[in-house]
Structure formats: C-alpha cells, structure tokens
Amino acid sequence: MKLTLLGTGDSGQVPVYNCRCAACERARRDPACRRGPACASIEHRGERWLLDAGLMDLAERFPPGSFKGFLQTHYHADHAQGLLHLRWGRDCRLPVLGPADPQGFADLYKHPGILDFSRTLTPFEPLRLMGLDVTPVPLRHSRPTLGYVFSDGGRHWAYLTDTAGLPGDTFEFLKRLSLELMVLDCSFAPQAHAPRGHNDLTRALEIIDGLAVGKAVLTHIGHEFDAWLTANQQALPAEVLVGADGAVFR
C-alpha cells in the first residue's frame, strides 16, 4: 500500500487569501509549505484511487488511465470542487464512490458527465479495490461523511477527514483493527471547547491515544494551527506527524 497526501489544507488552504499570519507568509515564500484542498491517493498493485477531489488541476496531475476513480469522503466544496471540470471529459467513465448524500455538490448530480455517482457506500460494508479490502466508516461532520480503512490482510490504514471526534461504532471498529497508519482531521490548535465539524489537536490526540495507532498523520490543517505548530513543535508525541502536501507513506 502507498498513500500520498496531495492536499492537506482546510477549505481556506495555506496561504489564506490576504492573510499575513506566519504560516501564510511562509507558504508564500516556500511552496513546500503550501497546503492545498483535500486530496490524497492510495495505490496498490499498480492501481490508484483518489481520495477526495479538492484539487483543481486533477486533469493535469492524473491523465486518463492513471487512476480508477474517486473515494469521496463527502460533498463539501473543498473535497469535491475538482470534479466540476473533470466531469466534461470524453470517452471514459470515472466512478465516484461515497456516502449517500441526496444533495451532492453544486450541479454534479444533475450534470455528471463522465462521473458515475450511481454507487453509494454502506458503512462497514467492505468493497474490494486494488486487491485491498476497503471499508467505509461513518465520521461526525455537518453532512454525510465517510472515512476509509484499507486492509491488505495484515495491515490496516485509515483515512479519516472531515470529522469532529468519531462515532462510537467507528471508534470500536478501528480499535479492534490496531491501525498501523491513520490520517486524521486536525484542523485547529488546542481549543478550550471541542470545535464543531473538525478536530482540534486535543481531540485528535485523544482519538490517536484511544486507538493506540502505530503512526498518526494530521491533515485538513488550518493556517492558524499551522502557525501554532511552528511555535509548539514539542506538542506532538513521537508517533504523530503533521501531514504535508506530497508526503508519501508505504
């Protein structure tokens, strides 16, 4: 299994338009510190699926034949906007597997073009992709949202964004698996109260600790959390990494 993080920012990305905070200024100076909208890829046995479609240059990055389709966590703009252009492609068909969400994003259902939204996923019902078991797990967000667990027999990896905490059944399911790798929504620096829709670092560390994950990678990182991290690098336990656009895990 090979997981590549392609966009580790939140909806505002890093840099945020017109923001002068330390993280946004650094990202303007150093493109390696930029954070694009939500997207990742999972590869196994020479096949690739994309996780979310937040990036707007998917047509350039992933020419036809280079991937099989999308595993969509949910239909917020920062996860689905890359589909707006791609749908008008020719002579191919791209399945978009994801949660049952009657609304979807913008007019994608009305004018799907080459995208095939016909198959919605049932929580905890695994599908077989790339020779892996892929299990959708419910997350806690402002609209129907699924995380994905990839299992190659021995190892289990999870991609979990966007979420604030985890539903009880998802937590129990993940705990039994003993995850080797977990990519987890952590949008905010530690907050006095649990934020809605996304984890802050306090809640993310609670989940990581509770699940006894081998390695955790934070994603969906907001610019303020990014700035906070530069001043608080010691805040993270050894098994917790901050995701970066382009980071690869094998």
- 90/193 with CB nearer Zn ion: 90
| DSSP string computed for 97-114 | EB---SS-STTTTTS-TT
Q: Which of 41, 81, 163, 187 binds a copy of itself (CB under 8 A)?
A: 81
Q: Which of 22, 56, 177, 241 binds a copy of itself (CB under 8 A)?
A: 56
Rg (CA), the chain: 17
CB-CB neighbours of 113 under 10 Å: 16
- Which parts of 190-229 interact with Zn ion (CB under 5 A)? 223
The least CB distance from residue 93 to a copy of itself, in Å, is: 10
> How far apart are the C-alpha atoms of 157 and 60, rounded to whole Å?
28
Tell me which stretch binds a copy of itself (CB under 8 A): 74-82, 132-140, 162-170, 187-195: 74-82
Tokens of 89: 């492609």
Name the binder of 176 from Zn ion, Mn ion, a copy of itself, none, CB < 5-8 A by kind: none
Q: Which residue has the tokens 């949008």?
A: 187
The least CB distance from residue 24 to a copy of itself, in Å, is: 8
Tokens of 164: 């604030």
**How large is the greatest C-alpha to C-alpha distance in the chain, in angstroms?**
52
> Is residue 162 reached through a cis peptide bond, with omega within 30 degrees of 0 on the bond before it?
yes
Considering the rule CB under 8 A, would residue 90 count as an interface residue with a copy of itself? yes
Handedness of CA 185, 112, 102, 48 (dihedral sign): negative
Q: Which of 3, 38, 86, 208 binds a copy of itself (CB under 8 A)?
A: 86
- Which parts of 196-215 interact with a copy of itself (CB under 8 A)? none
- Which parts of 9-28 interact with Zn ion (CB under 5 A)? 16, 19, 21, 24
Tokens of 119: 């198959």
Q: Which of 36, 104, 158, 162 binds Mn ion (CB under 5 A)?
A: 162
Residue 158 contacts residue 147 (beta carbons within 8 Å): yes
Q: Which residues are near a copy of itself by CB under 8 A?
A: 11-13, 15-20, 37, 56-57, 59, 63-64, 77-78, 81, 84-86, 88-92, 105-107, 114
Q: Which residues are near Zn ion by CB under 5 A?
A: 16, 19, 21, 24, 223
